[in-house]
Each structure stands twice: as structure tokens, then as C-alpha cells.
Amino acid sequence: KGTQFVGTGSTSFDGDDDWIDCGTTLGDSLGDGYSGGLTISLWFKANNFDDDGGIVAISPMDGGGDDDPIQLRISTSDIRFRTQGSSGGEDTSNFAFTTANVWTHIVAIYDGTKSANNQFLYVNGDLKETNSQSETLDLDGVKLVFGTYYNVGYKNLDGSLKNVAIWSRALTATEI
């Protein structure tokens, strides 16, 4: 219940100029001022951690800077789950991680509770980080993309994704 997108199989990205653009259907269906839950679950394998790489973003992808309502990405030293609210406030949950060439399960949750909008980052089934976002998300007209995010240029993943699922609700710890 609440599943918006499910992809099975594996997709590889070369870190150069390839990504998957799923359009604005998800963002448009959730809309501006979204205060419901959202869960992203997937397996990923990074070929290296030499540079930033987008895993999943719900993003305008228009060169507006680091203004994605939702980003799940790797950096040179960690996995990051970031949400940016409707007024520009942002929160990031980070987990130190640099294991290349190993399939890793990630679940990123924005619970959408009006008081705190908690976000949770699970790695291989273990809760690694929590944070809160005091604002709702503006998602209308933004794209769902895999393998990149935009921040003064595309930040592309050098690695693979498989078994991606996105729910329009917060999964429970038991469901993860």
C-alpha cells in the first residue's frame, strides 16, 4: 500500500553522464506542501567513493544549486540523506561509509509528522542516523531521478542500483 514506484533488476551507472529520469509524475502526485511520509528503499554498489554521486533525488534538475527536496547520495566518506523544506531549511543525516564493490541495502525515510518531520537512515537493516526537518516538502513539478543529483552540475553515481522501491508513506522498523 502506498507504493509509487518499484523497479527490479540492476542498473549500472558509469559516473560520467548517465542517469534515469522518471519525470515529474511522483512529485506532481504528492504536490507542494507535502506533509505525508516517504520511503526510499534500494540496494546499491559503489565502484568507488572518489567523488559525490547521486543515488536518488527528487529534484528540479534545473541548475538552481543544492535545492533538491530529497537527495540520497554518497560522498567521499559517507552516505547522505538530505531533505530541504518549502522555505529552504534543510537537514541531512550522514553515515560514515566507504565500502566499494559490495551490495548495500539503504532505506531512507521522511516520516512527514507535522511536529518534526523526522528522517531516518537505515543501512543493511540497522538504523544509523535520525534527524528532523521542521518544514514540509514542495514536490510539485520536480523530477524523480536515479544515478545523479544536481548541484552546480550533475553529480553522477559510479556504481549500480537494484530493487528500488518508493512508498508514499513511512515504513516501520519491522517492515524494513
Q: What is the pLDDT of residues 11-58, one digit of tens each?
A: 899 988 888 888 888 888 888 878 788 999 999 999 988 888 999 998
Q: What is the pLDDT of residues 109-133, one digit of tens each?
A: 988 876 667 889 999 999 999 887 7
With a threshold of 0.85, does the pTM exceed it? yes
Which of 98 and 62 is assigned the larger pLDDT? 98
Is the pLDDT score of 64 beyond 60?
no
Q: Would residue 22 be called left, alpha or beta, if left means φ above 0 and alpha means ψ between -120 and 50 degrees? A: alpha
